[in-house]
Amino acid sequence: MRINQKQKYVIIGGLLLIVVMVLFPPWYVTARLDSGIAYLSEHATYCFILGAPPQVDQLIDYRIDTTKLWLQGLVVVALTAVGLIVFSKETERDS
């Protein structure tokens, strides 16, 4: 199987999206009561991976939302695969 120019662009675009998603992952915040029980856990923001959101209080904890990050990655991989398939048909028609 030979990769045409449009397929190369699809692969490069997919890889660039993955890199940006890893560099700016989704974060979620968990706020705890004094007893240590979590009472709030929700999506916070997207932030540079080396510059986590500021720690305002000891009872507030920010973490990377790995579930959402994996889901985003799977969507990008699936869309990239669809793009490769769509543009492979153009190669077959040109032959």
Helix (H) or strand (E) holding 30: strand 26-32
Q: Name the residue with higher pLDDT: 60 or 10.
A: 10
User: What is the pLDDT of the chain when averaged over all its residues?
Assistant: 84
Decide if pLDDT at 90 tops 70.
Answer: no
Q: What are phi and psi of 17, to 5 degrees?
A: -65, -40
3-state secondary structure 1-52: CCCCHHHHHHHHHHHHHHHHHHHCCEEEEEEECCCCCEEEEEEEEECCCCCC
> Among the ranges 15-24, 28-37, 84-93, which has the highest mean pLDDT value?
15-24
Q: Which residue has the tokens 């692969």?
A: 11
Q: 8-30 pLDDT, tens per residue?
A: 999 999 999 999 999 999 988 87
